[in-house]
Amino acid sequence: MTTFTLAHLSDVHFPPLPAVRLRELANKRVLGYLNWIKNRHAIHRREVLDGLVADIKAHAPDQIAVTGDLVNLALEQEYAPVARWLTELGTPDQVTVVPGNHDAYVLSTQHRFAEAFGDYLRGDDYDGVPEFPFVRCRGPLALIALSSAVPTAPLMASGRLGAAQLAALERLLAQLAGETLFRVVLIHHPPTAKSRQKWLSDAPQLLALLRRYGVELVLHGHDHVHSTVWVEGPRAPIPVVGVPSASALPHGHHPGAAYNLFAIERDNDSWHCTHTVRGYRDALSITELRHSPLAPPQH
């Protein structure tokens, strides 16, 4: 059997925040900037992110998925440094990106994410303006990329797919249902969140599509914690897996930066996936935090 590996990181919150001009601190950005100055600047560290990326590269995954929140306040001056960082992470053919709520932080610059990182946001054989959902087939994988990123009111961090994206997703899932592919959905907001402040507002519709058509894996960010939740699929439960922020020091109830590494194999008529988590147990070094088959709990 040939093993294909997929690395997953999220919530880069690329540090440090560049200099901010006073005129840019209108509307929601004021609160976000104050939060950065008071809290986040001490948590999200470039050396932490660099260490995590070095460990990912040392394990040489076949593909890398980044599930959103690359920037912090969606300031114009944030995009160029993140674009350079993405080229260091990998080529557009090796890395697939979806946006998070911080990437669509305010209405005036929500379009800049697609403009700055478009090569990482396009489906196979498509050169136009990025559109969601899109599919990338890599080895045995079908990476199904969704955008839940929408501008929201101050103190809100919720997401939404919208009717058009859900309808297009249903068509894609129907097409892929007959293929022998390991289908992986990439989304920033977890479809299992309960808090209105941070939830995916049309999660019931997404879960209904997963229940009808099935996929093998859903990857998300947003919560900054390790999580694996199983949701209903047409034949077997589907794992919904989250990951902490890729740049965070351990703090409070939040773990330090980590990434998921999935080793995927096809054996006759079934898929086998091993889930490894690597990250900072403390602020000093990266270690293996988990290594086990990705299988639903036995009751």
pLDDT digits (tens, 9 = 90+) for 226-265: 999 999 999 999 999 999 999 999 988 899 999 999 999 9
Q: At what angle do helices 163-176 and 203-213 cross, to 10 degrees?
A: 10
Taking a C-beta distance cutoff of 8 angstroms, is the pair 193, 207 a contact? no
CA distance 194 to 176: 29
Instruction: Give the angle 10-97-6 at the CA atoms, nearest 5°.
Output: 70
Confidence of residue 26 (pLDDT cuts 50, 70, 90): confident
At 299 the pLDDT is: 65
Residue 188 belongs to what H/E stretch?
none
- Residue 158's φ and ψ, nearest 5 degrees, are -80, 170
Identify the pLDDT of residue 148: 98
- The whole-angstrom separation of Cα 165 and Cα 185 is 13
CA-nearest of 159, 238, 144, 151 to 197 is 159
Average model confidence (pLDDT) for the chain? Answer: 95
C-beta separation of 141 from 184 below 8 A: yes
Please give, one letter per residue, the 3-state secondary structure of 54-120. HHHHHCCCCEEEEECCCCCCCCHHHHHHHHHHHHHHCCCCCEEEECCHHHHCCHHHCCHHHHHHHHH
Judge whether residue 140 has pLDDT over 80. Answer: yes
Average pLDDT over residues 41-48: 96
Q: How, if at all, do strands 217-219 and 182-186 pair?
A: parallel
pLDDT of residue 1: 67
% of the chain at pLDDT higher than 70: 99
Place of tokens 């995916």: 200
Asked whether the predicted pLDDT for residue 61 surpasses 70, the reply is yes
pLDDT tens profile 143-180:
999 999 999 999 999 999 999 999 999 999 999 998 99
Q: What is the pLDDT, as a whole number, of residue 281?
A: 87
Whether 283 shows a pLDDT value over 80: the answer reads no
Report pLDDT for 297: 84
Sequence-distant (6+) residues with CB within 8 A of 108 are none
Give the dihedral of Cα atoms 185, 190, 192, 193; nearest 10 deg.
Answer: -170
**Does the pLDDT at position 213 exceed 80?**
yes
Q: What percent of the chain has pLDDT over 90?
A: 87
According to the model, what pLDDT value does residue 18 have? 94
Rounded to a whole number, what is the distance in angstroms from the first to the last CA of the chain?
Answer: 30
* 0.85 exceeded by pTM: yes
pLDDT at residue number 239: 98
Neighbours of 289 (CB within 10 A): 15
What pLDDT score was predicted for residue 109?
87
Quick one: average pLDDT of 197-222?
A: 98
Q: How confident is the model at residue 38 (pLDDT cuts 50, 70, 90)?
A: very high
Residue bearing the bigger pLDDT, 297 or 275: 275
pLDDT at residue 284 in the model? 78
The span from the CA of 218 to the CA of 215, in Å, is 8
C-beta separation of 259 from 8 below 8 A: yes
CATH number for region 4-14+25-293: 3.60.21.10
